[in-house]
Amino acid sequence: MSFLEYNVKTTPSGIRKVLYLNWPLILLLAAVASFGFLMLYSVAGGNLGAWAMPQMKRFVLGLTVMFAVAMVPIWLWRNLSVVAYLGSLVLLLAVEFFGAVGMGAQRWIDLGFMRLQPSELMKITLVMVLAAYYDALPVSRTSRPLWVIIPVLLILTPTYLVLTQPDLGTALLLMIGGAAVMFLAGVHWAYFVAVLTAGIGAVTAVFKSRGTDWQLIKDYQFRRIDTFLDPSNDPLGAGYHITQAKIALGSGGWTGRGYMQGTQSRLNFLPEKHTDFIFTTLAEEFGFVGAFSLLALYALIIVFCVSSALANKDRFASLLTLGIATTFFLFFAVNMSMVMGLAPVVGVPLPLVSYGGSAMLVLLAAFGLVQSAHIHRPR
Amino acid sequence: MKRPDKDSAAGARKMTRRALILGGAQAGFMGLLALRMRYMQVEEADKFRLLAEENRINIRLIPPARGEIFDRNGAPIAVNNPAYRISLTREDAGDVEEVLRRLTSLIKLTDEELERAQTELKRTQPFFPVTVADQVAWSDVTQIAVNAPALPGVTPEVGLTRTYPQGSDFAHVVGYVGPVSDYDLSKMEAPDQLLLIPRFQIGKVGVEAKLEEELRGKAGARRVEVNHVGREMRELDRREGQQGENLQLTIDANLQTYVQGRLDGESAAAVVMDVTNGDILAIGSAPSFDPNLFVRGISVSDYRALTENKYRPLAAKSVQGIYPPGSTFKMVVGLAGLDAGIIGPEDTFYCRGHLEVSGRRFHCWKGSGHGSMNLEGSLRESCDIYYYELAMQLGIEKISAMAQKLGLGDRIDLPMSAVAQGLAPTKAWKREARGEDWMIGDTVNSAIGQGFVLASPLQLTVMTARIAAGRAVQPRLIKKINGIEQPIADAPSLGLNENHLRQIRKGMFSVSNNRKGTAYGSRIIAEQYRMAGKTGTSQVRNITAKERAAGVRSNADLPWERRDHALFVNFAPYENPKVAVAVVIEHGGGGSAVAAPVARDITLQALFQGEPPLDAYPQKDRPRVQEMQKKLREYRPAAGTDAKSRA
């Protein structure tokens, strides 16, 4: 069913749209963000102004953006998908040339009031353009090779640009997020099996390239992988982060060491404790109970998104909602795996909790799209 | 684009199916995350909690105060004085160079110190104070305190530093302390944690080294919480250590100072021992050095001056120096002769000035000969021929056995560094050490304490004390440890006939109280203090026949290194022996002229426990003694008293 078949009269309009918002989802997002405020206050050693307050302001700003996005009918967003995608691509190219370098990678453009990471934006606009593509494509052609190549190119172009920044984590996230939308749209199994096989081959090639002239990834990325595979190998060098993160997490026990009592974070043993490693502080101070609660909140957000998507008869809206939910899932799943020693340290923040402006704004804007789809669903 | 409903309905069903598959996969992964969380936070919590505590808690040692050392009357010999040092903390200083520049304008800093401070400041964590100047005078500390606002990050700290108020007088006895070196650590199997503290001081030589265990004490510990770079956040708890044990020596500081003063200017050693219990009352070696220099870190030029001095100030000659005992060995031979029944006290040998032994001519010191000599006469006039004849009849083994009985050739157990063993030679020894057979000439040489016989001043003192007491007196240097009196070693009887001992003592009495005695000039007049002694002059060169023909040159004509050693041993009072004394003056010349007066003066000082009255001395000596007493009253050890201020 496409937007042309909507019975416009059945969709809410004007201020009444607020009543049709997915309120439980908003409450869940606020709950997750509150975990963030609490932890940012703690890791700053009881200083509100350091991280917690700016984060709250960004959250309020993000909510405003979310409401604004939600008010715009979903079919308008669908029509804007290609433009948004191309805009992100241009920004990605721009950081190639004008981007500021941080952590050995070109990642952001300084806009003055905030640092814009186009790769964050791209995670959403890629999902948008793919959803729009499959909405337009007749279902019968979904698995035809020619019609598979187009979305693959849509995915690989930004992936390549992000990879050259270089940001392996985001590149993988883009690829998996895009693949998830293709999977949901119904592309034949065989393609995924083929790509997976090719992927394994590529990973093997990357490892084989180590130390040769044609080395495919940077040395520090190799070291991160080494560290992931055996953190005890280099406990004071590259393995330090992951070892300390695991100690913090494990020492929390059932109920944790108490709010603002986590020794690992308070005494600075934890690296990047306000950004990528904030989950370890949460786990240290609130223990298994606290860490599991956050995981449960995330799970509920996914559940609400999936149920909203399945109840939506519009193909674009469903694909978009499911794609955004998957991207969101990838964020926290990769971050948690990373700090628990299940994945290499790839620099993915914990969504809505880690300190950081553009990630939070982009995510809340994405949930604005989910809300828009929810409000403007065909009834 | 209009699509058949069937197509889109099939697409929607497929999407629902795939969404459920994807959602299921996500749920599965979240379940995995939850399980991992549970495993780490519940099953392995204790392990990680322990690791977190290890991260957070540091054990910092509290060095104990070192035990102090006192003399037998409680006079301080080695004490811990407050010492000020100036340290600089980088993060508080801001501009380190500027602060250091201002500091140098206030107090004197050597280029070495500055350079060391700068490199250390670069290396250490910014919050860690680095010592810029050690051993700073109080006046400098006040200078810095007054100018504190201009010197951010600079703090004067107070610590304890080892000080030897008696300066050079006890340098050879107690030694000195210094920072632990890698070499020190390599010698230890399981070094105390304390020794790993930078600049921790341990005893390097002497009593400080030998009683290190007692003096060091036990470390205390503080448990502190630290952050990731090791900055101390707070103290969790503290366990106080145990101070090192205080020592009291058997030495009388006043007597020791007197001995050092009396030996001043010579290369010499002297030992005073209590005959009744073996307490070492004084054990001097000259020249000496200032141990405080070593605590502070001796300069290269100072150290070179000490090592290149031909009088060897660093050696404790009293225990490390071994000399041919010369005629002081004659008591041993005489006693062995009596004990073996080869001679009686009145048996005589005839001295014509020389003796032919298997084609070699052995001389008496008196070229014209002593004529007929009995035991007393031979000791009194130190006749050599008497002992040549006696030794040949005795054989070296009996002489050696007697020497050992009297403490020669045995390492004496005294807590000082490098205590020498000396040598009482036997036939077996020569075969093993030299690969040669014992010759009759060797026995003849040994008879007068020449040849292979070697003894330290300490051993000669022990020998004299044993002759005086008739018991195997053992020397003791440590009187009390932490106020607990240390045991006096058993002094069993030597198993010698008391009559024989009395004969030897009588001979020694004659030496310094008979007009013909070799030390008559250095006698003690005061009746109840009269001493019995024996002179010794040991050659350090061979006199060739040609030299002898040309007339033996007097010592004064020879270069210092080739002059004879002058020795004297004695005990006093004769009737009721209290002290035994041995004096060795290296290359001093004759025992009677050089060593005997020194020994007599020291003996009197010991007996009177202070300056003796002039009438204890022979009439003709008094003006000279008076002058010397005046001079000694002004004697001060090198860098005694106030050693804490910076030069």
Residue with tokens 């795996």: A337
- Structure confidence at residue B553 (pLDDT): 64
Band the pLDDT of B645: cuts 50, 70, 90.
very low
| DSSP 8-state secondary structure symbol assigned to residue A99 | P
**Which class for B399: exposed (0-12), middle (13-18), buried (19 or more C-beta within 10 A)?**
buried
| B154 touches B86 (CB < 8 A) | yes
Task: Write the CB contacts of B190 (distance below 8 Å, at least 6 apart in sequence).
Answer: none
Gap between the Cα atoms of B445 and B391, Å rounded: 9
In the numeric block, the tokens 């201009």 are attached to B150
Minimal Cβ distance to B29: which of A268, A309, A333: A333
Q: How far apart are CA B236 and CA B225, in angstroms?
A: 7
Q: Which of B130-144, B225-239, B615-629 has the highest mean pLDDT?
A: B615-629
d(CA A30, CA A59): 9
Contacts of B185 (CB under 8 A, 6+ apart): B191, B195
Cα B506 to Cα B340, B343, B410, B513, B575, distances in angstroms: 19, 16, 27, 10, 10
For residue A238, which phi and psi values (nearest 5 degrees)? -65, -30
Q: What is the SS3 assignment for A40? A: helix
Residue B467 in this model has a pLDDT that exceeds 50: yes
Chain A residues near residue B230 by CB distance under 8 angstroms: none
DSSP string, B63-91: PPPPPPEE-TT--EEEEEEEEEEEEE-HH
Q: Which residue of A has its CA nearest to B233?
A: A267
Give yes or no for a contact between B51 and A355, defined as CB atoms under 8 angstroms apart.
no
Integer angstrom CA distances of residue A49 from A31, A40, B20, B351, B500 = 21, 10, 43, 110, 100
Tally: H helices and E strands in chain A: 13, 3
Binary contact (A253, B11; C-beta < 8 A) = no
Structure tokens at B127: 């919050």
pLDDT at A8: 57
Per-residue confidence (pLDDT) for residue A102, from 0 to 100 = 53
Q: Which residue of A has its CA nearest to B50?
A: A251
**Residues in CB range of A259: below 8 A, 6 or more apart:** A38, A42, A285, A286
Q: Residue A291's pLDDT is what?
A: 95
Among B18, B37, B228, whose Cβ lies nearest the Cβ of A184? B18
DSSP structural state of residue B40: I
Contact between residue A256 and residue A285 where contact means Cβ atoms under 8 Å apart: yes
Q: What is the DSSP letter of A141?
A: G
User: Quick check: bond before A349 cis, omega within 30?
Assistant: no
Chain A residues with beta carbon closer than 8 angstroms to that of B44: 250
Which residues of B belong to the active site?
A: 327
| C-alpha distance from A185 to closest chain B C-alpha (Å) | 6
Check residue A7 and give its pLDDT: 53
Q: Please name the residue that has the structure tokens 């010397």.
A: B628
Closest CA to A246 of A329, A337, A356: A337
Average pLDDT over every residue of A154-165: 89
pLDDT confidence of residue B222: 87
Give the pLDDT confidence of B311-363 residue by residue, as tens digits: 999 999 999 999 999 999 999 999 999 999 999 999 999 999 999 998 899 99
Mutation to test the A interface, candidates B1, B18, B40, most A Cβ within 10 Å: B40
- CA B299 to chain CA centroid, Å, is 21
Residue B14 and residue A340: Cβ atoms within 8 Å?
no
Please give the pLDDT value at position B647. Answer: 32
d(CA B88, CA B83): 17
Q: What is the DSSP string of B388-403?
A: HHHHHHH-HHHHHHHH
> Are the beta carbons of B60 and B221 closer than 8 angstroms?
yes
Q: How far is A119 from chain B (nearest CA, A)?
A: 23
Query: Which residue has better confidence, B92 or B48?
Result: B48
Supply the pLDDT for residue A238: 56
Tell me the per-residue pLDDT of B146-169, one tens digit each, with 9 for 90 and over.
888 888 888 888 888 899 999 999
Q: Are strands B69-70 and B247-249 parallel, antiparallel or unpaired?
A: parallel
pLDDT at B2: 44
| ipTM value for the complex | 0.91
Task: Indicate the average pLDDT of chain B.
Answer: 90
Query: Which tokens sit at A211?
Result: 């130390």
In angstroms, the CA B618 to CA B604 distance is: 13
Residues in a beta bridge with A105: A102
CB B466 within 8 A of CB B582: no
Which residues does residue B239 pair with via DSSP β-bridges, in sequence order? Answer: B221
Whether the pLDDT of residue A31 is over 60: the answer is: yes
pLDDT value of position B407: 94
In terms of pLDDT, which residue wins out, B524 or B96? B524
User: How far is it, in rounded angstroms, from Cα B616 to Cα B404?
Assistant: 35
User: What one-character DSSP code corresponds to residue B550?
Assistant: T
Is pLDDT of B211 > 70? yes
Lookup: tokens for A45: 């050693």
Peptide bond connecting A166 to the previous residue in cis, omega within 30 degrees of 0: yes
Q: Which residue has tokens 């000439």?
A: B441
Q: Which residues lie closer than 8 Å to B299 by C-beta, 6 or more apart?
A: B293
Note whether A253 contacts B233, CB cutoff 8 Å: no
Give the pLDDT score at B277: 94
**A192/A198 Cα distance (integer angstroms):** 10
Contact B7 A310 (CB under 8 A): no
Q: Report whether pLDDT(B537) > 90.
A: yes
Q: Are B354 and B363 in contact (CB under 8 A)?
A: yes
Lowest mean pLDDT among A185-189, B154-158, B542-546, B579-583: B542-546
List residues of chain B with CB under 8 Å from any CB of chain A: 1, 3, 7-8, 10-12, 14-16, 18-19, 22-23, 26-27, 29-30, 33-34, 36-38, 40-42, 44-45, 47-49, 51-53, 55-56, 225-229, 233
Q: What is the pLDDT of residue B1?
A: 42
By C-alpha distance, the chain B residue nearest A321 is B19
Token output for A339: 């700090």
Express each pLDDT in B221-271 by its tens digit.
Answer: 888 888 887 788 888 888 888 999 999 999 999 999 999 999 999 999 999
Residue among B309, B141, B130, B288 nearest B636 (CA)? B288
CA distance A322 to chain B (A): 7
pLDDT at residue B144, rounded to an integer: 87
Residue A180 and residue B25: Cα distance in Å, rounded?
A: 11
Of B326, B438, B338, B427, nearest to B390 (Cα)? B338
Q: How far is A259 from chain B (nearest CA, A)?
A: 16
The amino acid at residue A334 is: V
Mean pLDDT over the full length of chain A: 86
C-alpha distances out from residue A82 to A54, A79, A161, A358, Å: 33, 7, 18, 21
Q: How far is CA A246 from the centre of its chain?
A: 23
Does residue B573 have a cis bond before it (omega within 30 degrees)?
A: yes
User: Which amino acid appears at position A345 of this protein?
Assistant: V
Instruction: Give the minimum alpha-carbon distance from B58 to chain A in angstroms, rounded to a whole number.
Output: 13
Closest-CA residue of chain B to A270: B228
**Mean pLDDT, to the nearest integer, of A354-360?**
85
pLDDT tens digit sequence for A235-283 = 556 577 788 888 999 999 999 888 888 888 888 888 778 888 899 999 9
- Angle of the A315-339 helix axis to the A74-98 helix axis, nearest 10: 40
- Nearest CA-CA partner of B593 in B552, B549, B563, B629: B563
Other Cβ atoms within 10 Å of B556 Cβ, number: 7
Chain A interface disruption, residue of B33, B46, B127, most A CBs within 10 A: B33
Instruction: Name which of B33, B40, B227 is nearest A246 (Cβ-Cβ).
Output: B40
Percentage of chain B exceeding pLDDT 70? 96
Residue whose C-alpha is closest to residue B52's, from A257, A224, A274, A354: A257
CA angle, residues B434, B439, B440, in degrees to nearest 5: 150
Q: Number of Cβ pairs closer than 8 Å across A and B?
A: 138
Q: How far apart are CA A50 and CA B453, in angstroms?
A: 86
**CA of B4, closest CA in chain A: separation in Å?**
10
The lowest-confidence range among A323-337, B175-189, B364-378 is B175-189
Tell me if the pTM is above 0.90: no
Taking a C-beta distance cutoff of 8 angstroms, is the pair B84, B141 a contact?
yes
pLDDT (0 to 100) of residue B606 = 95
**CB-nearest partner of B48 from A250, A288, A292:** A250
User: Is the pLDDT reported for residue B497 higher than 90?
Assistant: yes
* Alpha-carbon separation of residue A321 from A12, B33, B520 (angstroms): 19, 24, 123
Q: How far apart are the first and last CA of chain B?
A: 101
Residue B496 has pLDDT above 90, yes or no: yes
- Region for B422 from its dihedrals, namely left if φ exceeds 0, alpha if ψ lies in -120 to 50, beta otherwise: left
Interface test with B, best of A187, A251, A331 (most B CBs within 10 A): A251
| Neighbour tally for B246: CB within 10 Å | 18
Are B19 and A2 inside 8 Å of each other by CB? no
What are the beta bridge partners of residue B535? B568
